[in-house]
Homo-oligomer: A and B are copies of this chain.
Amino acid sequence: MSHNTFGHLFRVTTWGESHGPAIGCVIDGCPPGLTFDAEALQSALDRRKPGGSRFVTQRRESDAAEVLSGVFEGVTTGHPISILIRNEDARSKDYDEIAGAFRPGHADFAWQAKYGVRDWRGGGRSSARETAARVAAGAVAQMVLGPDVRAIASVTQIGSSRIDPARFDAREISRNPFFCADAETAKGWEALLDQTRKAGSSLGAVVDLSVDGVPAGWGAPVYGKLDAELAAALMSINAAKGVEIGAGFGAAELCGEENADEIRIGEDGRPVFLSNHAGGVLGGVSTGQPLTARVAFKPTSSILTPRRSIDAGGKEVELRTKGRHDPCVGIRAVPVVEAMALCVLADAKLRHRGQMG
């Protein structure tokens, strides 16, 4: 079973390969009558777009979104929204050498074992280029959720260098090439990344996510828990290796008294949680607190340093991966993390009102 569709009521199907003519998505289930914000869609894509700084891949793509259906006179019709993005700067020649060999850390070996055939150009369908379609879907999800639901992700760790939470300032995120909320740490990352790139190496990263404005009540026990769906959504992003909700692995070290988020009645007469170890979700259902999560990304597998591997014929080889790559794939994952969270939430919103009215 192939599985290129995500979501239940707000459903996103993506398609396309890194070096094919185009990539795209079809978004089904969008409510009708929403103002379609084409500019917001393009902005979201531009934010993820490669080539923005020397710290990301130098592939040049305009990533211009063509909306082919589902919008009429500037408004969603409730029918599928098909979005097309042309591939413009594919250089398949870079990959000739590795056409028959399996790059360590990449999908190559496993996909060959599964499919017996493989579009090796730029990683084909396994390329992070696919995430542009996710970002497009996330922009539409935002239209479904409205402006009150606001997802903010940022890089909080590259390699073993972490930000100082005391310096976290969300306004900084758009001011440096690392989507980093701590200006000082971001400064230091320039040298770190330059050095990594020059060494033909790469680094892992951690992305923190917080979503404000999610009302209490979204999500669904038992196998459609909001945190379980968020975990799947985030783990499905290329290179993701870990997901935490709220206190995450730290919760394992707490005792019950510390972990329980106590509740009081605030001055406005509404419930107030005194802490948020839960990360905004209890029993799989949102509590009205910010939804918080963290995602670990492994270092980019495409590196210039030769690594030992085998080829499709079973011969041992040494491989260095040429082509244009992100030295730290976690950086450009930031808009993708936000997009996936928005897709999960748009789906949760529609599903909630489906059952509850």
Contacts and interface: CB of A to CB of B under 8 A. Distances in A.
Given A2-B355, A265-B315, 13 more contacts: A1-B224, A3-B225, A17-B79, A21-B66, A105-B259, A110-B219, A113-B216, A201-B256, A228-B232, A228-B233, A252-B330, A258-B299, A353-B354
A1 B79 contact: no
Residue of A16, A249, A314 ringed by the most chain B CB atoms within 10 A: A249
Contact of A285 (B82, B111, B300, B301): B111
A295 to B, nearest CB: 9
Given A159-B252, A244-B296, A296-B252, A285 B3 contact: no
Interface residues of A, number: 154
B261 A105 contact: yes
A145 interface: no
Contacts of A227: 235, 240-241
B69 A15 contact: yes
Interface string A69-103: 11010011111111010000000000000000010
A246 interface: yes
Given A16-B68, A80-B13, A159-B255, A314 B262 contact: no
A3 B224 contact: yes
A2 B77 contact: no
Contacts of A229: 232
A309 interface: yes
Contact of A355 (B15, B29, B252, B257): B29
A222 B236 contact: yes
Contact of A201 (B32, B115, B257): B257
Interface string A9-41: 101011111001111101011111100000000
B5 A252 contact: no
A41 to B, nearest CB: 16
Nearest to A285: B110
Contact of A33 (B13, B72, B116, B309): B116
24 contacts: A1-B354, A2-B221, A3-B225, A13-B28, A15-B82, A16-B82, A21-B66, A69-B125, A76-B117, A77-B125, A109-B271, A110-B216, A111-B282, A111-B283, A114-B356, A204-B251, A228-B235, A232-B232, A241-B251, A244-B249, A251-B299, A262-B308, A353-B353, A353-B354
A64 interface: no
Contact of A106 (B23, B216, B282): B282
A126 interface: yes
A274 interface: yes
A23 B70 CA distance: 11
Interface in A205-261: 205-206, 216-225, 227-229, 231-236, 240-261
